[in-house]
Amino acid sequence: AIPFYQRAVELDPKPANFHYNLGAALQFAGKFAAAESAYRAVIEREPNSYRAYSALVGLSRQTPEQNYLAKLGSLFKEHKADPDKALHIGHAIAKTLEDLDRYEESFDWLKRAKRGKRAAIEYQSDTDFKLFAAAAETVDESTASDDACSAASPIFIVGLPRTGTTLVDRILSSHPEVVSAGELNTFAGLVKAQAGSPSNLVLDVETLRNAAGADLAQIGHSYIEETRRLARGAHRFTDKMPLNFFYVWLIHCALPNARIVALRRDPIDSCVSNFRQLFATGFSYYNYSLDIDDTAAYYECFDKLLGVWRRSMPASRYLELKYEDIVRDQENQTRRLLEFCNLTWDEACLRFHENPAPVATASSVQVRQPLYTGSIGRWKKYGDRLDSLHSRLNKKKNS
């Protein structure tokens, strides 16, 4: 897309949105200096572009000498009645304060930024609780089929966002026999079509319940056919849609030779990393992240569901990896991952940060750096702001 955006700018440099789209594409491609220039071109044309300021803050660490706090503060006052704009601006302020080691203030700003959006959508955690329960109920030995697709090419990478899914995708796609197909809605769409549920949601309780009567063998064959172009003839390919953790048993029945890698991370770090992430505002499946208590409840459901998969899935097809283990023991965990996926050892997998392929996720900046331990135990920097979360998750862990 980059040359097309560049050509659009050449033909008509006036629209700020042309520059913003170019900046986003450059960022995904790892061309951060050029992306910064594009975002600054947006501000030249629209001095109050909160999206451009938010993008600039996300590109690099803010410093006492170089930051946009004053401008962001005035923009927040101007747009605080608009839940979406306040969310974007408040996140940029929180990220800046975090970069300045003002973690408690950062957390307070996250709560302030998210409060209006949560009220506007009237989020109900019970909806997610029912979804997790319906996913667990898909486990049924009778859903296995002799006609299931035998292809072993897909590797599904699942887990909560911000827990290492992109990292594992980059490690695997650095292997010469593996291609990353990105975050695909393909499997979910095929299940929805077969389930015939009437809602306008791809993933809901009724769809998961109706999946019991779906032709999972056909779904497996259709999945391979529909991903053929994205796989580009590679021996193996990754599908890094985090929410596929709802479909683990269905994936196994449809593609019994596929591999499923589930990422785990410290419970409190998982919750904090989701709470501090600005997800797409139009994507309802991440609405839990608008409140730290909702995020904790969601994590508890996720943890319980992965327990169901561990008990139900064969170890040769389902593997759980801990983010902290990968960071602290990179080579051994990489060898374990490659062995699980029936891939030979390749040193390139240790140099995942040199992988030139685009990254269109929230980790587009981080995964172009070597592994670092700074994200482990990050929650401890927030002081007493996380006391209730710590008490809740530790109590559950020790009970």
Cβ–Cβ < 8 Å for 255, 143: no
Which pLDDT belongs to residue 361?
54
Which pLDDT belongs to residue 373?
74
Angstrom distances, CA of residue 157 to CA of 184, 202, 318, 375: 11, 19, 10, 20
Half-sphere exposure of residue 269: CA atoms within 13 angstroms, side-chain side: 16
- The helix/strand/coil state of 393 is helix
Which pLDDT belongs to residue 374?
73
Cβ–Cβ < 8 Å for 322, 331: no
Which pLDDT belongs to residue 360?
59
Q: How far apart are CA 184 and CA 225, in angstroms?
A: 14
Q: How far apart are CA 160 and CA 244, in angstroms?
A: 10
Cα end-to-end distance, the chain, whole Å = 52
Cβ–Cβ < 8 Å for 8, 18: yes
Q: Which residues of the chain have pLDDT under 70?
A: 356-370, 372, 395-399
The string of DSSP codes covering 161-177 is: TTSSHHHHHHHHHTSTT
Cβ–Cβ < 8 Å for 258, 313: no
Which pLDDT belongs to residue 280?
83
Q: How far apart are CA 194 and CA 215, in angstroms?
A: 7
Which pLDDT belongs to residue 399?
47
